[in-house]
């Protein structure tokens, strides 16, 4: 059972470039999330999708867009990358509500130069 799979694992971008982070889960979960993790800070929610066809902003959505492609897949897009978006990005999923345990992917380390 793969759980939550994220690609790529590492990425270096130049300021202004765009890219999409991919996430897929095989646990038939309804809810999916994108977090960023920065040194000295807790995980912060970027966007989430409570069910297929819905997406909502989290704590730090500026500069990002998301797509819930189907029940399995939830992608995060940076349209014009900025150095402030250098971070480690985690995708997560849960069976339903956010007060259920989260299953995390292994992360994408993104550097924007």
Partner 1 sequence: EDQVTQSPEALRLQEGESSSLNCSYTVSGLRGLFWYRQDPGKGPEFLFTLYSAGEEKEKERLKATLTKKESFLHITAPKPEDSATYLCAVYSGANSKLTFGKGITLSVRP
Which residues bind to partner 1, rule: CB under 8 A?
Answer: 4, 40-45, 90, 92, 98-99, 101-107
Say which residues have a Cβ less than 8 Å from residue 7's Cβ, sequence separation at least 6.
21, 22, 108
Nearer to partner 1, 102 or 112 (CB): 102
Closest CA to 34 of 48, 24, 20: 48
Q: How far is the CB of 65 from partner 1 (least distance, A)?
A: 21
Omega within 30 of 0 (cis) for the link into 10? no
Q: How far is the CB of 90 from partner 1 (least distance, A)?
A: 5
Quick one: tokens of 61? 């959505």
Q: How far is the CB of 7 from partner 1 (least distance, A)?
A: 14
Q: How far is the CB of 81 from partner 1 (least distance, A)?
A: 22
Nearer to partner 1, 17 or 75 (CB): 75
Nearer to partner 1, 3 or 16 (CB): 3
Widest CA span in the chain: 37
Q: How far apart are CA 24 and CA 16, in angstroms?
A: 26
């Amino acid at each position: 059972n793969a759980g939550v799979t994220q690609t790529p694992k590492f990425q270096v971008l130049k300021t202004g470039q765009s890219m999409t982070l991919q996430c897929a889960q095989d646990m038939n979960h309804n809810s999916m999330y994108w977090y960023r993790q920065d040194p000295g800070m807790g995980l912060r929610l970027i966007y989430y999708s409570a069910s297929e066809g819905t997406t909502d902003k989290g704590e730090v959505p500026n500069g990002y867009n998301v797509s819930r492609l189907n029940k399995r897949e939830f992608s995060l897009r940076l349209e014009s990358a900025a150095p402030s978006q250098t971070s480690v990005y985690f995708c997560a999923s849960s069976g339903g509500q956010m007060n259920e345990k989260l299953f995390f992917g292994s992360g994408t380390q993104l550097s924007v130069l």
